Structure 1
Amino acid sequence: MPAPFIKGNSAMTVLGPVAEPVPAARMTPAQARVLFAATMGNFMSATPVLYTVFGMVLIPISKEFGWPRAQVSGVLGLAALCAAAMAFATGPLVDRYGPRRLILMGSLSFAVALGLFSLAPARVLPFYGLFLLADIAAAFASPMTYSKAVSGWFDRGRGAALGFAGGVGNGLGATVIPIIGGLLLSRFDWRVTYQGMALMVGAIGFPILLRFLRDPPPGGLRDAGPARAEKGTGPANDLTLRQAVGTRAFWITALAIGLCAACMTAMFTNVVPVLTERGFALADGVTVVTVFALVCAVVQWLMGLVLDRIATPLILVPFYLLGLGGLLLLQYGPSMPWLVAAGVMMGLGLGAEYSALPFLVSRYFGFRSYGAIAGVLYGGINVGMGLIPFAMNGIFDAYRSYDPALHLIQGLMLAATAAFLFLPSYDRPLRG
């Protein structure tokens, strides 16, 4: 990395302005408890527990019910629209009532709904309905609501805290839970697999949240001190949803981060089917998903540290290009070493995306309407997470190959990566 050069009193790099050095702030017990609770909540959220496991059981469900894969995965399209609607609804609710109340309700309801889904009959309407019920419950305990809690408890070091909660939470959840799901699936069936998920969320996740999660101080925690007086560490803007939507940064963020995050997250549910279709074993697919998720977990935390230091989103571009390269290796890699490399590269890309979205929302737009603004952006990602797997499997049913769908995803990611060139630094006032 190029050495910093000095311009006036501010440290700069070729990538953009670097935040002023500040004395290290020790994490308080309250912050540590909230960070632990948010991490465990993300560990047992919808992405690892509901969606990632669904990718593993898609083929067994298809065989048991005698349905084409597009019919099984079709529920993901409806779930995406439902999750998007719930994100729009829960965003204002979390601004009004605080994250703790919504998360506790959502976690307990999610556990019950997972158990009910495991009893779904081979009829489309109840099968889809029970899956959607789980999706609705999970929306109240989503990464968006956890990011509101963490962002409000951390100012200095917010990027690292968000990256840790999201990375160790969602990332390790998507690493460990497929292993647990694979063990259950290899010994029992998809129904017992989801019953195990329900038990984990209800008996482990909910008590942790009840004991340790607390709402942040009103308006979010603010660090005091000379460094803040000279160069504020809080947001340069504090916008309503309507004001945010009127800025260029909002729409570019939705494209550059939202679209890529939707594409890469959707691949979690399709790595196993893609590799199975290429002739690799189930265990090979699970291995790639595990590597994908583990790298994603580590990168989220590291990227958070970087975003705390460098005030430009351009630092994300190399990671996005690596993620794009990982998709190409997943499609064409001839052996397991190449596929493991694909998992590493996709993890680098998705980890950067997951870390950047909540951080940039708080830095670009502030806390006044954080939930509403984040809800819109996460809602768009949820739409992509559902529609992309549905489209992929529809294309597979039509062409007996995932290649056309993968080429389309790669094109979308390349366009979204180029959008970063038009994002402003997040420490400046926004203009429409």
Structure 2
Amino acid sequence: MATRLPKPNFARAGLAFTCSNNWRAVFSSRTIVGSNRIVLSFHLISDLPLFPTDWRVLKWPPPKSSVRWTGMPRPVDGSRGHGRNWQHSLCPLGGWGDGNFPPPSIPIGERRLCHDKDISLYHLKPGACMSVDRSEFRQGWKVVAASALGIGTGLSPIPFYTMGVFVAPLSAEFGWGVDQIMLALMIMTLGAMVMGPVAGLAADKFGVRRVVLISVALFGLTLAGFALSNGSLTLFYINWMLMAALGAGTLPITWTRAVNNWFNANRGLALGLSLLGTGLFGAFAKLYANYLIGVVGWRMAYVGLALLPLLLALPVAYFLFHDVTDKGATGAPAKVARRGFTLRQALRTYRFWVLAIAFVPIAFAVGGPIPNLEKILGSKGLDAQQAVQIASLIGPSVIAGRLIGGWLIDRFWAPGVAFVLLALPAAACLLLTGDGVTATPAIVAVLLIGFAAGVEYDILAFMVSRYYGMRFYGAIYGMMYGFFAFGAGFGPFIFGRMFVQSGHYDTALLYGAIALLAGAAMLLTMGRYPTPESLPGDDARPVTEG
């Protein structure tokens, strides 16, 4: 007589299942009469008429010998199935179990309709087959790698991180003042504020790959154009404005659009990895430019910097960077209906203005201290070498912020994560105020500031995709980036100006602490993520929020 097996507890058995596009799994089990076996069946159901773009078994420990978990598909077209065991392959081709054992029916209260058919594995066609061991990173790693390289050698980090090493040779060559040279960064910021939304809108309309390839090439050429400077400040400023306008397509606005499309369950971590390039290449570019200036002079140093996007980012992007809708996007998630807010619809929602206004003080308070760290630490009594060593910790902490922050927002409510991670640096600002700051609190403060600098980009991009969808992501994120750039661009200038006026940074740091708390607290009013089906589609009318 066969042993009667208890109804399995799937969570206790170690089975965890995840789906995208708002799909969910409904499990059931049946005992095979006359055998010592339990057959597990499940349905994927959703409110949307879409195939799941990604689904997989997250964990599957070796089962006990008394229970054999099987998953032998019977394709609806009558052909022989390819899946042998869930540990090896699982394709949603038809019924699950042994032979003709069908998936159980879904109760009426649990039914979801798609073209008047129950959404279940039994109804999926062979063309929708997806292997269980194909993770998002296995499919989308090329896009992440190309994005990290493109962002890292683009408009966001290269001019900002290398400006300092060009001040001395430019001043010696043309007699320009430091303030006159640094004004170029503000001009570039204003150009990015204006052209960022334009680049995002172009990516939405013409395709992100096309915009990226053209912009990377033009950015490299305009960067090399500084080698032709003849002493005219006007022409120098015009080239900065031209570089910002033509290079706006290399900002995270464009690259993260493709990353968001390729990733769903691991979107936050994928964004963090893509944005690692800003810290890694920013630090490298400064050392690289300083070396070139010493060897071949400042003019050829600009040419050498221009080779980074032209010889590295451009060919890599050409071969590896594809959005999910591009012809060369092998292994891309299934195409889904375009849903999301237009820019005009987004501007009518309170969430847009909460995000935009909140990130102005956040960007100001995080971006203001970073270029001034050596001076801040030196004004507190630390010697120059110690100040430089402590300030150099900003790089590793930014990387940690990118990875840990991305991992957290994949698993927890992003505004709540943002409140905690962006409010902590307020304590860092307070640690740096007063007289006689020692090395230990200075190290803690730098690590907290760097960690916040690592998560702010990721969280902004992530929340735009979750709250507004991907239909016009580029235009909406581009507009958001303008507000962010405004705060980040004026932060270093205001911190330095307050130091000149008062002889210390305490007032600016106090304002920074207040700004961080205020901006982070505003994000808590964002509310729940909208469900995918609640987002407007191509034929949707403009919507408003209360």
Give TM-score, length-normalised by structure 2: 0.65
Write the distance in 2 (CA, Å) between the matches of 1:145 and 1:40. Answer: 13
**Of 288, 296, 311, the match for 1:180:** 288
Write the distance in 2 (CA, Å) between the matches of 1:342 and 1:250. Answer: 31
Q: Quick one: which amino acid aligns to residue 243 of structure 1?
A: Q
Aligned-pair distance for 1:102? 1.2
Asked if structure 2 preserves the Cα contact closer than 8 Å seen for 1:107 and 1:202, the reply is: yes
Asked if structure 2 preserves the Cα contact closer than 8 Å seen for 1:94 and 1:371, the reply is: yes
**In the alignment, structure 1 residue 253 sits paired with structure 2 residue 367:** no
Which stretch has the larger CA shift, 24-33 or 95-104?
Answer: 24-33
Write the distance in 2 (CA, Å) between the matches of 1:235 and 1:283. Answer: 56
Q: Deviations over 1:177-222 (max 9, x none)?
A: 334345446667655543432222222222211221112228x975
**In the alignment, structure 1 residue 384 sits paired with structure 2 residue 487:** yes
Percent identical pairs in the alignment equals: 28
**Of 119, 126, 132, the match for 2:235:** 126
Asked if structure 2 preserves the Cα contact closer than 8 Å seen for 1:178 and 1:286, the reply is: no
Distance 1:128 1:301, change over 3 A: same
Which stretch has the larger CA shift, 317-326 or 275-284?
Answer: 275-284
**Of 390, 399, 411, the match for 1:297:** 399
**Of 20, 23, 27, the match for 2:57:** 23
Q: Which has the larger radius of gyration?
A: 2
- Matched residue, 1:214: 322
**Of 244, 256, 260, the match for 1:147:** 256
Aligned-pair distance for 1:414? 2.6
- Matched residue, 1:315: 417
Structure 1: gaps of 5 or more residues: 1-10, 12-18, 225-233
**In the alignment, structure 1 residue 242 sits paired with structure 2 residue 242:** no
**In the alignment, structure 1 residue 344 sits paired with structure 2 residue 453:** no
Asked if structure 1 preserves the Cα contact closer than 8 Å seen for 2:148 and 2:274, the reply is: yes
Written as runs of structure 1 = structure 2, the 5 A alignment for 1:9-408 is: 23-24=57-58, 25-27=134-136, 30-58=139-167, 61=170, 65-166=174-275, 168-184=276-292, 191=299, 193-217=301-325, 238-272=340-374, 274=376, 287-288=389-390, 290-329=392-431, 334=437, 337-399=440-502, 401-408=504-511
Distance 1:118 1:328, change over 3 A: farther
Q: Quick one: which amino acid aligns to residue 49 of structure 1?
A: I
Q: Which structure has more helix as a fraction of its residues?
A: 1
Q: Quick one: which amino acid aligns to residue 144 of structure 1?
A: I
Which stretch has the larger CA shift, 79-88 or 107-116?
Answer: 107-116
- Matched residue, 1:7: none
Quote the RMSD (CA, aligned, Å): 3.5
Q: Quick one: which amino acid aligns to residue 193 of structure 2?
A: A
Q: Quick one: which amino acid aligns to residue 94 of structure 1?
A: A
Write the distance in 2 (CA, Å) between the matches of 1:105 and 1:408. Answer: 41
Distance 1:278 1:394, change over 3 A: same
Write the distance in 1 (CA, Å) between the matches of 2:173 and 2:413. Answer: 52
Distance 1:107 1:277, change over 3 A: farther
Distance 1:190 1:398, change over 3 A: farther
Distance 1:268 1:201, change over 3 A: farther
Write the distance in 2 (CA, Å) between the matches of 1:420 and 1:103. Answer: 30
Write the distance in 2 (CA, Å) between the matches of 1:193 and 1:269. Answer: 22
Distance 1:35 1:138, change over 3 A: same
Q: Deviations over 1:217-262 (max 9, x none)?
A: 28x97579xxxxxxxxx99972111221222211111133354135
- Matched residue, 1:231: none
Write the distance in 2 (CA, Å) between the matches of 1:189 and 1:339. Answer: 36
Give TM-score, length-normalised by structure 1: 0.81
Which stretch has the larger CA shift, 238-247 or 250-259?
Answer: 250-259
Which stretch has the larger CA shift, 267-276 or 419-428?
Answer: 267-276
